[in-house]
Structure 1
Amino acid sequence: MIAAVEPDATARESVVVRVPASSANLGPGFDVLGMALDICADFGSGAAPAGALQLDEFHPASVAFVAAGGDGPLWMDGSIPMARGLGFSGAARVGGAALAVVQGAADPEAALRDGDEKILQISTELEGHGDNVAASLFGGITASVNGTTLLLRVGPIVAAASVVVWVPDVTTSTDSSRAGLPPTVDRADAVYNLGSIVQFVVAIEHDDPGLLINATSDRLHQSHRLPHVAGAPEALEAGLGAGAWCGWLSGSGPTIAFLCESSISSNVVHSMPDSGHCKTLKIDMLGTRIVG
């Protein structure tokens, strides 16, 4: 006879996981670079509290929750916009997988730390690429390289900088945007992007904003995507003209993001077209964490 296993009396009945949004590609780092942003969403299991959204089984967080071994209904409460190039689906998958990993744990923080590779693997498989997922999970600026996540060292100057995002009043489908990219890449364009991505990484690692100028230039995807977002080329040019260190199409768009000194962030905001709204953010250095 098999004895019934009593639940861990020390386990928390309810755990809330907070996951930051992210900006992917950062110009030349197509499917590689990601930056966590301090717009967050909270995910929990059970009945949704007041103001939160009860998720159905098809929501990306629910799918990841089940894939990671979780059981039961989920809810979400947050302000990450959908289909705007700010990593909503990646954050949701991380949130669902993380909840499954910590479900029933006596020490959810330790379970989250110990389970980060499982969360990363499941979320990346479901998402199809690891740039948004890695940034939302680990925070800061990340590079997804051949199945491994590298964490860039973010110094005090860049950490104190503002990330201004211009969010147009339209949505973008990542799948449709990817389908519009050319199937092959010119060698000169590939070499150009290799140079840009190295320049970006060196600029971040050395905490040198001067090196960020032109470091987010890209020839693989932005030139194909930008013309399909009304106002995006003008917004990118205007933000750089207003003094931002660098700017890029966030993910597949439509959002345009800028990294700039906080003292001139309002100049960047005021330079943006009226066909969208702006948020002034920071790089989220914490990544996914337990908040309840």
Structure 2
Amino acid sequence: MTGWSVRVPASSANIGAGFDVLGLALTLHAEVGIGEPPAGGRTAEPTHPATIAFRQAGGDGDVWVRSPIPIGRGMGFSGAVRVGGAAAAAVQRLGAEALDDQVVLAEVCGVAAELEGHADNVAPSVYGGVVVCADDHVQPVPLGLDPAIVVWVPDGTTTSTDRSRSTLAAEVTRADAVFNLGRVATFVAACAAGDVDALRLATEDRLHQPTRLVEVPETAGALEAALDAGAWAAWLSGSGPTMAAMCDPADAARIAAALPDTGHTKHLAIDHRGVTHQP
């Protein structure tokens, strides 16, 4: 097989209270492929996360990468290209139908999660949709809604996931743990039931967002602006600095227009397919 690629969605992880647990796939895609790079693509160097994942999963040769996913912005660039590298290795070894096999997808997710360190950063890119991650188990969330996802990306600001995580408390109180457990459960139930009125409460958080938003006050302002404009929910995407808001598709343009002009917006949706082979 020559001249093909895999297509991988970006992700938004740590949704609200779901720190290291909840993630969703976005309709913004990276490509990792074999053969001559297309326009806008480039051969990945040996230290590129896609190449490392490709080798780890048994791939042979070089891969190219083409991606519009912002780097260091909390939209899952490194997770997506790691999934792409591992998935490309699976297709190279097993053929074009490999990514239709749930066992193969679980292997791809395992390789990418081991390299990424957090399954919620990669599982949405593998499976699509909204997922819950509990150690090695990935549970898709049934969806009774099909929202727009408006993301606001601050200009000129990036976040180091490792540095951001180092600022978080190693222990939390029972009250804060119970607070977040209730909201994660509410988020899953509200998504399944299509209960959009519950989503704002369901994305409140005490474990990571309050600490992280102090470092990016413009993002905190964008989050509040999205909610004030009528978004169902809004949260810090990944470790930031991007903010993601879930809303009625009919309201997406109006909500985007209400966000600060110190960043740019992307009008996206939930990707329901996950990683796919592209002939």
What's the TM-score once normalised by structure 1's chain length?
0.92
Equivalent position of 1:44 in the other structure: 33
Write out per-residue CA displacement over residues 4-25 of structure 1, whole angstroms, 9 at most, x where no aligned residue.
xxxxxxxx32331000000001
CA contact (8 A) 1:238 1:272 kept: yes
Write out per-residue CA displacement over residues 82-106 of structure 1, whole angstroms, 9 at most, x where no aligned residue.
1000000100110000000110434
CA contact (8 A) 1:25 1:34 kept: yes
What is the distance in 1 between the residues matched to 2:112 and 2:94?
20
1:115 correspondence with 2:101: no
Structure 2 segments unaligned to the other structure (5+ residues): none
Partner amino acid, structure 1, of 2:5: V
User: Quick one: which of 129, 142, 165 aligns to 2:151?
Assistant: 165
Partner amino acid, structure 1, of 2:276: R
What is the distance in 1 between the residues matched to 2:151 and 2:99?
33
Equivalent position of 1:190 in the other structure: 177
Larger Cα Rg: Structure 1 or Structure 2? 1
Equivalent position of 2:64 in the other structure: 75
Equivalent position of 1:61 in the other structure: 50
Equivalent position of 1:129 in the other structure: 118
Change (3 A) 1:233 1:111: closer
User: Quick one: which of 240, 260, 276 aligns to 1:273?
Assistant: 260
Equivalent position of 2:11 in the other structure: 22
Equivalent position of 2:238 in the other structure: 251
Structure 1 segments unaligned to the other structure (5+ residues): 1-11
What is the distance in 1 between the residues matched to 2:129 and 2:218?
28
Equivalent position of 1:6 in the other structure: none
Equivalent position of 2:270 in the other structure: 283
CA contact (8 A) 1:35 1:142 kept: yes
CA contact (8 A) 1:28 1:220 kept: yes
SS, match of residue 44 in structure 1: strand
CA contact (8 A) 1:16 1:291 kept: yes
Q: How does 1:216-227 map to 2 (within 5 A)?
A: 216-227=203-214
CA contact (8 A) 1:34 1:142 kept: yes
Partner amino acid, structure 1, of 2:148: S
SS, match of residue 201 in structure 2: coil
Partner amino acid, structure 2, of 1:82: I
Question: What's the C-alpha RMSD, in Å, of the aligned pairs?
Answer: 1.2
Point out 4+ residue stretches in structure 1 off by more than 6 angstroms: none
The alignment-based identity, stated in percent, is 48
Q: How does 1:93-112 map to 2 (within 5 A)?
A: 93-106=82-95, 108-112=96-100
CA contact (8 A) 2:73 2:240 kept: yes
Cα distance, 1:54 vs structure 2: 1.4
What's the TM-score once normalised by structure 2's chain length?
0.96
Q: Number of paired residues?
A: 277
Equivalent position of 1:231 in the other structure: 218
Partner amino acid, structure 2, of 1:109: E
Partner amino acid, structure 2, of 1:50: A
What is the distance in 1 between the residues matched to 2:268 and 2:105?
25
What is the distance in 2 between the residues matched to 1:127 and 1:53?
22
Q: How does 1:136-215 map to 2 (within 5 A)?
A: 136-155=125-144, 158-159=145-146, 161-169=147-155, 170-215=157-202
Partner amino acid, structure 1, of 2:60: D
Partner amino acid, structure 2, of 1:281: L
Change (3 A) 1:31 1:250: same
Cα distance, 1:111 vs structure 2: 4.9
Change (3 A) 1:111 1:257: closer
CA contact (8 A) 1:102 1:112 kept: no
Cα distance, 1:230 vs structure 2: 3.5
Q: Which moved more, 1:206-215 or 1:25-34?
A: 206-215
